[in-house]
Structure 1
């Protein structure tokens, strides 16, 4: 039985996973990189999962509300500003996922840009989607050699009343992600 630790930031993003031969565990990490990393590390210690699957909502600059992205590449936009000092700001979790044979048929590839601020103003951001947790979780998983993948539902367009749209679209995100996992993807 494959143990999957499913992470989500807020209760409105919770989606039950119903795959055969999978034992899912769920952890609400809270919003932000620090909380997310802490709660994930504690859950990993207790569960010892084979895979960590982060699910949730995200903003975007270049895509549409309702789009879903499977992220294996992550950027820390806060640390990106310090790149010239040699600080790491990008993680690619593809290799370990491929090595284990997990999620290879999930093809809606995107790059997730993570930071501690909720972006409300239109600005240049690298990547397809913007969140506040995924990079930190990818960092924890890489350090523990656990495969990590993040699936994000676009709830808002940055610069277009993002906070209000995010709140209004959480139910849509939950429904869209539930359909994605339990109808379209049926298996890991």
Structure 2
């Protein structure tokens, strides 16, 4: 099993204080894909856990949401006749579905893009991030199960950048709480 997060700010040092190894991908789809491949090759993991933050105009700030599916909100080749979110000539679908792990959590479609979303994405989705689709695609290609939990830090609106920073500590605590539910942590 491997744990990946985008940035150390998302863990706020809480995971490290409990000696939980975290691999940080950096921001964006390319960085996430490169790190995911590296982690899978090095650890031979069969499950990758992605914990992080997201914006949402549907879910409330401070909600914890399990991602049911990832889509690319910034893939737009529609002038050539392809659907927004679809990668032309790619055998993988535009939406990569995940197997639910926490039935008690809300579930949502996460739109991934290489931009900090502050409006309505072109692809239907209920929350937005910047790394998840890449992780899902690599995991699917490498036959690794991905479980992804997102703490909603902001409304994906004009104030998203301020809300995101202000809510990182709350998010890290909630993500750690649910990580401990997934994995037995020795005392």
TM range (shorter): 0.7 to 0.9
Gaps of 5+ in 2: 88-92
> Given the two structures, how large is their TM-score scaled by the length of structure 2?
0.81
- The change in CA–CA distance for 1:104 and 1:60 in structure 2 (over 3 A counts) is closer
After TM superposition, the structure 1 = structure 2 runs for residues 2-81 of structure 1, keeping only pairs within 5 Å, are 4-14=1-11, 16=15, 25-79=21-75, 81=76
Partner Cα distance (1:156, 1:64) in 2: 8
Partner Cα distance (1:7, 1:177) in 2: 12
- The change in CA–CA distance for 1:133 and 1:123 in structure 2 (over 3 A counts) is closer
- 1:161 pairs with 2:153: no
Partner Cα distance (1:147, 1:39) in 2: 16
| Corresponding residue of 1:126 | 124
- The change in CA–CA distance for 1:45 and 1:106 in structure 2 (over 3 A counts) is farther
Partner Cα distance (1:45, 1:186) in 2: 23
Partner Cα distance (2:28, 2:106) in 1: 24
Gaps of 5+ in 1: 18-23, 98-102
Shift of the alpha carbon at 1:158? 1.5
> Given the two structures, how large is their TM-score scaled by the length of structure 1?
0.80
- The change in CA–CA distance for 1:42 and 1:152 in structure 2 (over 3 A counts) is same
| More strand per residue | 1
**What count of residue pairs does the alignment treat as equivalent?**
172
Shift of the alpha carbon at 1:124? 5.9
Post-superposition CA distance 1:90-143 (Å, at most 9, x none): 11132xx7xxxxx36564322111000001235565222100000000000000
Partner Cα distance (2:115, 2:109) in 1: 18
Partner Cα distance (1:68, 1:61) in 2: 14
Instruction: Tell me if the contact between 1:69 and 1:110 (Cα under 8 Å) persists in the aligned partners.
Output: yes
Partner Cα distance (2:121, 2:94) in 1: 18
